[in-house]
């Protein structure tokens, strides 16, 4: 697990045919539209998986496990 888990979404802009992502801790990434689209897809899949894991953990706690 990561040491610093951030709960604020990154800022994303498009300029001159490139996608810029500005995140926490001075993270800055510039991508092609194609790379940004694939990253978006991967983020959405991972976010859904992580949320499912959170819900399962919460359900186990409520069940007393």
46-55 residue pLDDT tens: 999 999 999 9
Distances (CA, A) of 16 to 9, 38, 51, 61: 23, 19, 34, 49
What's this model's pTM, rounded to 2 decimal places?
0.83
A 10 A CB-CB count for 9 gives 8
pLDDT band, very low/low/confident/very high, at 36 (cuts 50, 70, 90): very high
Report pLDDT for 47.
98
Report pLDDT for 17.
98
pLDDT band, very low/low/confident/very high, at 3 (cuts 50, 70, 90): confident
pLDDT band, very low/low/confident/very high, at 39 (cuts 50, 70, 90): very high
Q: Say which residues have a Cβ less than 8 Å from residue 52's Cβ, sequence separation at least 6.
A: none
Query: Using CA atoms, how far apart are residues 57 and 49, in angstroms rounded to an integer?
Result: 12
Beta strands in the chain (DSSP E): 11-15, 18-22, 28-31
């Amino acid at each position: 697990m990561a040491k610093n888990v951030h709960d604020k979404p990154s800022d994303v802009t498009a300029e001159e045919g490139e996608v810029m992502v500005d995140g926490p801790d001075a993270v800055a990434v510039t991508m092609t539209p194609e790379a940004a689209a694939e990253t978006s897809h991967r983020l959405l899949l991972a976010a859904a998986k992580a949320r499912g894991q959170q819900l399962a953990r919460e359900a186990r706690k409520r069940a007393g496990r």
